[in-house]
Amino acid sequence: MQLKLLVDAGGMKPGPAVSQKLGPLGINLGKVISEVNKATASFKGIKVPVILDIDTKTKEFTIQVLTPPASELLKKEFNIAKGSPQPNKIKVANASIEQIIKVAKIKQQSMFLDSLKPSVKSVLGSCIALGILVESKEPKVVQEEIDKGIYDDLINKGTEGPSKEKLAKLDADFEQVKKSQEAIVKELEKKAEEKAAAAPAATAATTPATATSKEKKK
């Protein structure tokens, strides 16, 4: 029997979904959680898909840790909790191509790709969805540059990461981006606050109407 789970790497906790499936089989939930946390410790801080292969007769199990989604790897790489609410307008990070290649190498095996280049382009697709710039450019532009062979040397030879000078330049570029989008961010925050403030009022407004309706039925 196989059970597929998406867990917090290194921090899986008991939950009804898992206990309802393992309980009737007589599987020790505490042991499963402990072993899963050990197996996923290297990815701590992100969600990781795992497969439990369970022998229902012996109650023994094995754990297969799958590669985390590219979006989770990117969020960990750039220390961001979530992607942009408006990826086309608000950017949450500015990546180097070396950092994208690093993530693409992790994802390549699970994609069953012989070449790293398609994996890099796929990770760039995730950057588009999350609102991450790459080399201070829109990821679509970098995808086109990859098709032209501009980054072939880095992709083919591998890389140990960007230089401190390059990272400093990307950080400086991103500071300018954040300044340019401050007005949009403030407007979104204002709308969120207004929505949060309006929610209790809306609930209070509907409560008397409900009571009145019940009284009429009586």
Residues 124 and 78 in one domain: yes
CATH code for the domain in which residue 59 is found: 3.30.1550.10
**Distance between the two ends of the chain, CA-based, in angstroms?**
55
Q: Is 195 within a domain? A: no
Q: Is 116 within a domain? A: yes
Instruction: Tell me how far apart the alpha carbons of residues 212 and 218 are, in angstroms, rounded to a whole number.
Output: 10
Choose the final residue of a domain: 65, 82, 113.
Answer: 65
User: How far, in whole angstroms, is CA 5 from its chain's centroid?
Assistant: 16
Residues 76 and 156 in one domain: yes
Percent of the chain with pLDDT strictly greater than 90: 51
Q: What 3-state class would DSSP assign to 42?
A: helix
Residues 40 and 129 in one domain: no
The whole model's pTM is what? 0.74
Q: Any idea which residue has 């410790």 for tokens?
A: 41
Task: Give the number of domains in the chain.
Answer: 2
Contact 99, 162 (CB under 8 A): yes
CATH code for the domain in which residue 154 is found: 1.10.10.250
- pLDDT for 208 equals 57
* 7-18 average pLDDT score: 86
Q: What angle do CA 23, 13, 1 make, to 5 degrees?
A: 40
Structural domain span for residue 42: 2-65
Compare 114 and 149 and report the one with higher pLDDT. 149
Fill in the amino acid letter for 204. A
Compare 5 and 173 and report the one with higher pLDDT. 173
* 32-41 average pLDDT score: 92
Q: Is 132 within a domain? A: yes
Task: Enumerate the H helices of the chain as residue ranges.
Answer: 16-22, 29-39, 70-77, 97-111, 116-130, 139-147, 152-157, 164-180, 182-217
Q: How would residue 104 be classed by pLDDT, with cut points 50, 70 and 90?
A: very high
- Dump pLDDT digits (tens) for 55-89: 888 889 999 998 888 999 999 999 998 999 999 99
The residues facing 28 across adjacent strands are none
- pLDDT for 205 equals 59
